[in-house]
Structure 1
Amino acid sequence: MIGKIHKQMSHDSWLFSKMATPEYTPFVFLLLLFQSSVWGVPVCQTPQESPTCGYKSCHATKPGMLNVHLVPHTHDDVGWLKTVDQYFYGDRNDIQHAGVQYILDSVVDQLLKNPDRRFIYVETAFFYRWWKQQTDDMQNTVKQLVNEGRLEFVNGGWCMSDEATTHYSAVIDQMTMGLRFLNDTFGHCGRPRVAWHIDPFGHAREHASMFAQMGYDGFFFGRLDYQDRNRRMVAREQEMLWRASESLTPPMADLFTGILPNGYNPPEGFCWDQSCDDPPIRDDPDLEDYNVDDVVTRFLHIAHGQALVYKTNHIIMTMGSDFQYENANLWYKNLDKLIRYVNQMQSNGSEVNVLYSTPSCYLQELHRANLTWPLKGDDFFPYADSAHDFWTGYFTSRPALKRYERISNSYLQTCKQLEVLGGPISRKGPFGAGDSETLKKAMAVAQHHDAVSGTEKQHVANDYARKLANGWAHCQVLVSNTLSSLSGSSAPRVYCEHLNISVCPLTETSKKFSVNVYNPLARPVSWPVRLPVNGTAYSISDAKGKAVDSQVVPVSQATAAVRQGRGYAVNELLFQVQAPPLGYSTYSVSLLQNGPPSPPSPLPRFLRVTFDPETGLLSSLSNLETQQTVKLSQNFYWYNASDGNNSESIQMSGAYIFRPNTSTPFIISKTAKIETLQNSVVQEVRQWFSPWVSQVVRLYTDSRALELEWTVGPVPIGDDLGKEVISRLDSSINSSGVFYTDSNGREVLQRRKDYRPTWNLRQSEPIAGNYYPINSRAYIKDDKDQLTVVTDRSQGGGSIQDGSLEIMLHRRLLYDDVRGVGEPLNETSDIYPEGLVVRGRHLLSLSPPATAADTHRPLAQEVVLQPLITFTDGELHPSTRLEFSGLQAVLPPAVHLLTVSQWDQDTVLLRLEHQYQASEITHTLLSLGGDPSVWEVNLKPMEIRTFLLRVRQR
């Protein structure tokens, strides 16, 4: 238990603090740097609030009374049923009546009419658009409203991000974008004090940790499991202190957290938007239907009832909902009357006081109460709104979009790094004007809880992908400019975005080309490259002119089929590349007429895999370094998605909800047809399970991970059954009903079958109720063995049986799950009209539990921030610089270079993080530097620190 809400109201932390930012001369980073804020104008200490904004703008409350805080708000999805653009402009109202530009117009107009009124706004992506269209006079008017605390920003990110399927690096980026705009525009009064995630479908511990470290004073949300809510209501524990990290020393990751009483909707009977049906307050006694007495009576009844399940004499009511306040006069006219007439009852002995308020003003009153609050240490997954309605399907929904978002994040980090390394020429160079902003905004929008989550309509998903593709195009110009400048080569650079299905027109046709491999990590990487070719032998040399071992293998039947005529290579060229930290290495490739004899095939150095000769399935995995061996089988299954025709519940599987109609999945095939390949670079077993499921099991000679490249689709629906396809690993590990998943790609949480740490679970869905989000890795373990699976995108999974780990790969459903999206999750495309085909990778490692993090964390990191491969045709000029590194020294293993980004014309933002949990290391402090002329930075486990560098090129 803990006795205080916050560490310090309006405190500073790594996102809201600074030290001096003196000039930093070297063009190549030496590292060590100067801590700063992620806001545009860093602050040295706890800032002095203006007399009227922030906590000082709150209306007075009345001690000894029940104070009801009314919070006028709108929830504006950054895409859902309509695209972002359609929502902003109010287009396609045949789908949903919603127009954000009119909401902001109307709210500002109504706030000016009564200084008591308040409004909170959340989604900076929309506000930014609206702001750019306003006149100087209107902008000054809005600034005054913000300075007086009448218009308050909460959360402040570009969007309200999803918490189950997002990666922490992308979340930090989108928060940075939104918060910086608010700070640049409004200064200190624009700074949100409260995190506000009222709509995401479950809540991640890592999000709370990030919000705490960003300096938020509190966090409010609306959705949690119905059993959890019921228990908390009885115990009056709907407000708590969330200790959101097992590694960071309290109170670094402590965050006061409150659960809103009505989700984010108004109390029943008190909705006064144009989309609502509740009657207005009719307060002229000379007219018919006077209803003030009835309204006041009903409101007092609701207020007293709500007070019974909260702990203080302050309660909060959200007065608004989805896209409301387009005609703000309707809301405010009735809220003014409600406040007046309820408060008039105080003269008759009523002890209820109603006021316009904001979440931060409500939070301030809870802080003043100085009570002891319950402590929360786990997360809020999975979320169910009733016994058979678990929102665990969206962990996997739209797997192709989830993968595109993940690789777009990788590409964005590379783009931002190269913008810094290239300087001004990156943005305007030999290949034209490039920028990173377009992809930054597209990625920020993609973090929305109806974007990467996969819970949007199909045309909206297409729009998210289109925006990402447009961002890629802008970044490609920037990347070309920088690589041209760094290498001294003006040769046009070619990008092949479909290498995962072996499509690259240049490599398929060219007899001589170069391969540039840029590594965005702050440590060297070794990476397998597979290029589509039509030749049978090639010579490859690295940046030092040394010959590189390579092999040519035939393209698999599955790959040839999935290409759908987009490429015609019959072979793949395989070789291993090495890339320096924050830099590139260039490889020259030439077609040979008669290839040299293949070298003998060396045995893999670190792992050994066996297959059952009768079934063609995996049978064991061994770690040759540690002399570990586990029995391990893997196969594909599908759950029959419920169609709602069930005696227990009419709930169907859909974009949000996973509900199989049986606890036993259907096996796709008990055997696999196989084809084996073995050479000096790789060993492969190609497996075919059915016409729509295949897999390649790969073991590279020097790899510590086994690769499972799966291809699923088109999922057949001719039997009128929706299907949820899984890959399941069954091992000899004694996992005792426990498995582990990462939270947003960072800290790992323990999951136990049919168990919740904070309440006694009544399990009603034995499969869906045991599924959790897997952002980058999951594992099972016993005393001596840990089997880890690294994923290439966010997916859902569980451990339903001891020693088993299953991960959902693809979903194709025939019914809507009645949660608002209004269409089944049945994805097709022009290329795949019979149903979407999805390809992905799982990387498996086997290690002793004590040292497993040394393997799976770097693996996950390399998948999240994978090398960027580009090509130039023909022979390079002799003066071309074939290798480059932006670091003078490799960072220590525990330190991750999270962000390198241009902040303004001569300033660079840099983030460093300690990527290990306290339980994964034997030391607790990690020092960078050592040179007395260099600043020293200490990083504690799981700590992220942000710096600003003033850079000038030399």
Structure 2
Amino acid sequence: MRRLLRLFGGVPGPSVHLPSFTQIFTGIFPIHYDPPDGFTFEINDVSPPIQDDDLLFDYNVEERVNDFVAAALLQANVTRTNHIMWTMGTDFRYQYATSWFRQMDKFIHYVKMDGRVNALYSTPSIYTDAKHAANEQWPLKTGDFFPYADHENAYWTGYFTSRPALKRYVREMSGYFLAARQLEFFKGRNSSGTSTDALADALAIAQHHDAVSGTERQHVASDYALRLSIGYKEAEKVVASSLALLTGLRLNMTYEDSVPDFQQCPLLNISYCPPSEAHLTDEKSLIIIAYNALGWKRKEVIRIPVSSESLIVLDSAGKEIESQLLPLSNVSLCTRNYHVKAHLGRSASSLARYWLAFSATVPPLGFSTYVVSSAKKSESSSIISTQFTPEENINNTFEVGQGNLKLLYTVDEGKFTRYINKRNSVAAYAEQSYNYYSGYNGTDRVFQASGAYVFRPNGTFPIKPEGEVPLTVLSGPILDEVHHQLNTWLHQVTRVYKEKEHAEVEFTIGPIPVDDGFGKEITAQIITSLNTNKTFYTDSNGRDFIKRIRDYRSDWDLDIHQPIAGNYYPINLGIYLEDESMEVSVLVDRAVGGSSLVDGQIELMLHRRLLNDDARGVGEALNEKVCVLENCEGLTIQGKLFLRIDPRGEGAKWRRTFGQEVYSPLLLAFSEEEINKWMGSHITTFSAIDPSYTLPNNVAVITLQELESGKVLLRLAHLYEVGEDKDYSVVTGVELKKLFPDKKIIKVTEMNLSANQERRKVEKKRLDWKVEGTPEEPTVVNGGVVDPVKLVVELAPMEIRTFVIEFDYLKTFAS
């Protein structure tokens, strides 16, 4: 007998770099995840119901049972074992559930009476047990299903980039949430006060497959963003109070005037930060707390908008440090003014004139304090950047970069053409440019349009500077910047930091013009001379890098109809190319779509504005706008790409380490205080872990959270794949005693990834599946059991381990 089961489908398998016991049983439906044709019973559907009153002329029990059996046998022919499932329902269904269950009850009754198949309501676990009991050998799939298409001109690779502003907001709030939860733990949860829970809920909802993907209607996207904003406001209070406590531990906190009022700047990306822009007096200075959520010390450049040019910057020890002032561009000012008015409902009243940049060093899971004070012009240590416009010279070139990294630019085209790193002797041709695809203006599935889901380009067009737009170069001791206005809606700033070995490309795109009646999809290209033989690598959810080969699928013979869209892949962390001698890596600040459509070239889609719906359920064109009163403009986005070229085999260290820094930027909080009083009475630097300890460079803390029970949830992740790096693709250990030096650990319980079951109990219930052939077992195994005395957690490449830790708070050590 065949069983028809109502449940949801599975997901692709785990990392190929993990042992076989991490494999999961999954499946795919023959056609989407709908019921078979003729078996949808929404109140206004056209599928004929069972009419079982034999006195009526349309009595059809036998006919409908035959239809049911035929559909079941058709699916059984492409399904292993004699157990199959039907998902009775799909998107936009069950608005009236009674009509569904009335028909399903009848079908189960009459199909059982017929006897050719057995129909029943079921559950995922019953179905899985039945499949397992069949003792079948199953194929092993280690790749993914991208790119997906539902017909020859409809590749669902557009949503990798759709709604780039929302994608960035989700990414930004995810990094903020990681830091906020850590600070909440250091302070201690307050069951009756503010918490990070609202932000957790908003981020969880935003992971829906029609949320961060960008495949929702505009009013729904606005609702997701509103929920994130509300959650942020709650978490912001947690961060402020936690930092007030941690910086004020020397104080008697009963005095209310001793508690600093820490402000944060969620619109810092558009150069809007009221506390940093305030005019500083001789009595008051700007206190900046920079919190690092990573488990290792980091050094990076902080940039904040300021209104004065006479400033000095002090570090945590009160020592004056080097700083640089960079004038705000007209593009930054226009973007800032419009969006502050749009999002806050008021004008950006402050008079920010510069970006103040200085290098900050911050300990692991801790903070450092920096002080910005006004100074007499003769005493100011902030160096104003040298600004110049390159002119034609004999070589038509100029160089940017104060440290190991140099970018060589051509004056006439305004592009860098050479990447030079003195430290590792890399000297490579590299060029960056922009194109756009004209979106196909179809109206239905036959004449397929480019839309929120589907990417269907209708021609490629280079974006060239409109007229003679000169480059502007800013140079100083911290960083160099090259500003390039390509047209009225595309502006770029390329930054080279003195102490970094990657180039940072910041783009401002929008409003994308659509006056010609065509939507446009904007891409950036990094062009190199690498011989890559159609091969490139993209990340899988920021974890494994998967090998991609243009116009090729390892599982089947590919008949490519859309050579551009059919070679696009999701990119969450980055993409890289390699040949015999070099590798080129590009990291991103949000999820985007990308590919290598030409050997030696990386392409990333950055922004989309389209005029037709792609008929996949949104019912609305992807034409985002931002409004100030009655004036609405197409969405403008600002984002960053990060480029680095290394000798082959050396790029993983940067991708993994800097990738964590992109995901978890320094959290900045500001307060205006009297400097001498502050420095003498407050803690100016703090680390939650043992001062002699830092996490291994191949391990990240991805969760550190106090649970409502008072226990602590800890997740640790190994960042490297097997064989990815000669130094870091190894089993490593984390010492819990040094991670929590001031607390007495009394119990460590390992959990499954979602932390709702103990791992040992899950392993006892795990089913052992037979696999076709003899697949090669990875050479690495998971880390061992945690010794209750040594308390060292082992992690193998790509492994994530989750623990619930209990402390004896009565024996917590004095700090």
Q: TM-score range by the shorter chain?
A: 0.7 to 0.9
- Inter-partner Cα distance in structure 2 for 1:654 and 1:466: 24
Q: 1:827 aligns with which of 615, 624, 648?
A: 624
Residue 284 of structure 1 and its aligned partner are, at CA, apart by 1.7
Q: 1:782 aligns with which of 544, 558, 579?
A: 579
User: 1:941 maps to which residue?
Assistant: 797
Amino acid at match of 2:161: T
- Inter-partner Cα distance in structure 2 for 1:643 and 1:547: 59
CA contact (8 A) 1:726 1:807 kept: yes
Residue 597 of structure 1 and its aligned partner are, at CA, apart by 6.8
User: 1:184 maps to which residue?
Assistant: none
User: 2:717 maps to which residue?
Assistant: 913
Q: 1:615 aligns with which of 413, 423, 426?
A: 413
User: 1:166 maps to which residue?
Assistant: none
- Inter-partner Cα distance in structure 2 for 1:689 and 1:285: 75
User: 1:238 maps to which residue?
Assistant: none
TM-score (norm 1): 0.72
1:478 and 2:238 correspond: yes
User: 1:740 maps to which residue?
Assistant: 537
1:271 and 2:40 correspond: yes
- Inter-partner Cα distance in structure 1 for 2:658 and 2:215: 29
Q: What secondary structure does 2:299 align onto?
A: strand
User: 1:896 maps to which residue?
Assistant: 700
Partner deviation per Cα, 1:736-766 (whole Å, 9 max, x = no partner): 1111111111110011111111111111011
CA contact (8 A) 1:68 1:317 kept: no
CA contact (8 A) 1:434 1:476 kept: no
- Inter-partner Cα distance in structure 2 for 1:465 and 1:696: 27
User: 2:149 maps to which residue?
Assistant: 384
Unaligned runs of 5+ in 1: 1-64, 72-119, 121-195, 199-218, 221-241
Residue 243 of structure 1 and its aligned partner are, at CA, apart by 4.9
**Structure 1 stretches of at least 4 aligned residues deviating more than 4 Å after TM superposition:** 595-603, 930-933
Q: 1:669 aligns with which of 456, 465, 488?
A: 465
User: 2:669 maps to which residue?
Assistant: 870
Q: What secondary structure does 2:634 align onto?
A: coil
1:881 and 2:683 correspond: yes
Partner deviation per Cα, 1:663-698 (whole Å, 9 max, x = no partner): x33334388631001110101111110011011110
Q: 2:657 aligns with which of 832, 852, 858?
A: 858
Q: CA, structure 1 residues 597+576, in 2 after alignment: closer, same or farther (shift >3 Å)?
A: closer
Partner deviation per Cα, 1:115-149 (whole Å, 9 max, x = no partner): xxxxx6xxxxxxxxxxxxxxxxxxxxxxxxxxxxx
Q: Which moved more, 1:924-933 or 1:880-889?
A: 924-933
Q: 1:452 aligns with which of 212, 217, 220?
A: 212
1:541 and 2:314 correspond: yes
User: 1:495 maps to which residue?
Assistant: 264
User: 5 Å matches for 1:697-736?
Assistant: 697-736=494-533
Q: 2:16 aligns with which of 229, 241, 246?
A: 246
1:463 and 2:232 correspond: no
Q: What secondary structure does 2:272 align onto?
A: coil
CA contact (8 A) 2:527 2:601 kept: yes
User: 2:292 maps to which residue?
Assistant: 519
User: 5 Å matches for 1:135-534?
Assistant: 196=8, 219=10, 243-252=13-22, 254-346=23-115, 351-424=116-189, 433-488=193-248, 490-511=259-280, 512-534=285-307
Q: What secondary structure does 2:113 align onto?
A: helix
CA contact (8 A) 1:714 1:837 kept: yes
- Inter-partner Cα distance in structure 2 for 1:908 and 1:448: 27
- Inter-partner Cα distance in structure 2 for 1:901 and 1:607: 39
Identity of aligned residues (%): 39
Q: What secondary structure does 2:287 align onto?
A: strand
Q: What secondary structure does 1:673 align onto?
A: coil
- Inter-partner Cα distance in structure 1 for 2:270 and 2:592: 21
Q: What secondary structure does 1:760 align onto?
A: coil
Amino acid at match of 2:211: A
User: 2:324 maps to which residue?
Assistant: 551
Q: What secondary structure does 2:290 align onto?
A: strand
- Inter-partner Cα distance in structure 2 for 1:719 and 1:930: 61
Amino acid at match of 1:810: H
CA contact (8 A) 2:443 2:614 kept: no
Q: Which moved more, 1:329-338 or 1:582-591?
A: 329-338
Q: What secondary structure does 2:320 align onto?
A: coil
- Inter-partner Cα distance in structure 1 for 2:671 and 2:508: 30
1:583 and 2:366 correspond: yes
Amino acid at match of 2:292: N
- Inter-partner Cα distance in structure 1 for 2:5 and 2:736: 55
Q: What secondary structure does 1:494 align onto?
A: coil
- Inter-partner Cα distance in structure 1 for 2:504 and 2:553: 33
- Inter-partner Cα distance in structure 2 for 1:729 and 1:673: 21
- Inter-partner Cα distance in structure 2 for 1:396 and 1:692: 18
CA contact (8 A) 2:311 2:382 kept: no
CA contact (8 A) 1:499 1:530 kept: no
Partner deviation per Cα, 1:237-272 (whole Å, 9 max, x = no partner): xxxxx65323212232x1122112342211111222
Partner deviation per Cα, 1:897-923 (whole Å, 9 max, x = no partner): 111011123201001111111112345
1:811 and 2:580 correspond: no
Q: Which moved more, 1:329-338 or 1:400-409?
A: 329-338
Q: CA, structure 1 residues 649+730, in 2 after alignment: closer, same or farther (shift >3 Å)?
A: farther
Amino acid at match of 1:734: N
TM-score (norm 2): 0.84
Amino acid at match of 1:882: T
Amino acid at match of 2:510: G
CA contact (8 A) 1:669 1:690 kept: yes
Q: CA, structure 1 residues 410+930, in 2 after alignment: closer, same or farther (shift >3 Å)?
A: closer
User: 1:678 maps to which residue?
Assistant: 475
Unaligned runs of 5+ in 2: 249-257, 341-347, 387-399, 738-786
Q: What secondary structure does 2:681 align onto?
A: coil
